């Protein structure tokens, strides 16, 4: 049996999940609950027919109010952050090597950044179509 020293059983400082990352994950959680309720209510209850945004024109009109793209973008940033931190947590549970973890973190960060940029572009494009 290997004679490991006690020090090897101390949590090694790695790019693992630490206090702040976890806190971000659970702060985005309830924020998401609120934003989601808002998002679902508005998408399925508002609009000209009050059964939600049913056509292309409904959506364009809805996006004319600047509050709307603002909230949708906030929703996007929150959900992407929560989702990717959570995914990283699950991958951490699979014990990747330091190198693999580093690659995963980079990939997820870039994916997150790309998704947010894409989403902001999309929201602004839709809003502009009503101009």
Partner 1 sequence: MDNTRNQPSAGKFLSWFNPLGRQTGGWAFILNRITALGLTLYLFLHLIVLGQLAQGPGAYDNFLALTENPFIKLGELAAVAAVILHGLNGVRIILTSFGVGVTRQKQLFYGFMAVSIVIILFFVVRMY
Partner 2 sequence: MAEKWNITLRVYRKKENQTPHFDDFKMEVNPDEYVLDAVERAWAFHDRTICFRHACHHSTCGACGMRVNGREKLTCITLIRDVTHNGATLKVEPLRNFPVVSDLAVDMGSFYRKMETVGARAVMPVTEAEVENPPAKWDAEDAQFIRLSDCLECGLCISACPVTATTPEYLGPAPLAAAQDQGLKRKPELLSIVDGEDGVWRCHSAFECTAVCPSFVDPGRRIMDLRTQVVGMRLRKLLGKA
Cβ–Cβ < 8 Å for 45, 52: yes
CB of 113 to partner 1, least distance (A): 13
CB of 11 to partner 2, least distance (A): 3
Instruction: Quote the CA–CA distance of 112 and 3 in Å, as a whole number.
Output: 43
Total residues contacting partner 2 by CB under 8 A comes to: 21
Q: Segment 8-37, which members bind partner 2 (CB under 8 A)? A: 9-14, 16-23
Residue 22 vs residues 7, 38, 84: alpha-carbon distances, Å: 25, 25, 12
The smaller minimum CB distance to partner 1, of residues 106 and 118, is found at: 118
Residues in the site for partner 2, rule: CB under 8 A?
Answer: 1, 4, 6, 9-14, 16-23, 92-95
């Amino acid at each position: 049996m290997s004679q490991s020293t006690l020090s090897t059983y101390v949590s090694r400082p790695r790019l693992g999940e630490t206090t702040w990352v976890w806190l971000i994950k659970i702060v985005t959680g309830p924020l998401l609950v609120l934003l989601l309720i808002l998002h679902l209510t508005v998408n399925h209850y508002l609009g000209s027919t009050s059964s939600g945004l049913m056509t292309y024109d409904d959506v364009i009109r809805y996006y004319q109010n600047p509050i709307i793209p603002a909230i949708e973008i906030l929703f996007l940033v929150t959900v992407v952050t929560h989702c990717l931190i959570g995914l990283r947590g699950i991958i951490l549970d699979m014990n990747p090597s330091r190198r693999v973890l580093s690659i995963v973190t980079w990939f997820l960060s870039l994916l997150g950044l790309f998704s947010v940029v894409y989403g902001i572009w999309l929201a602004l494009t839709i809003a502009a179509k009503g101009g």
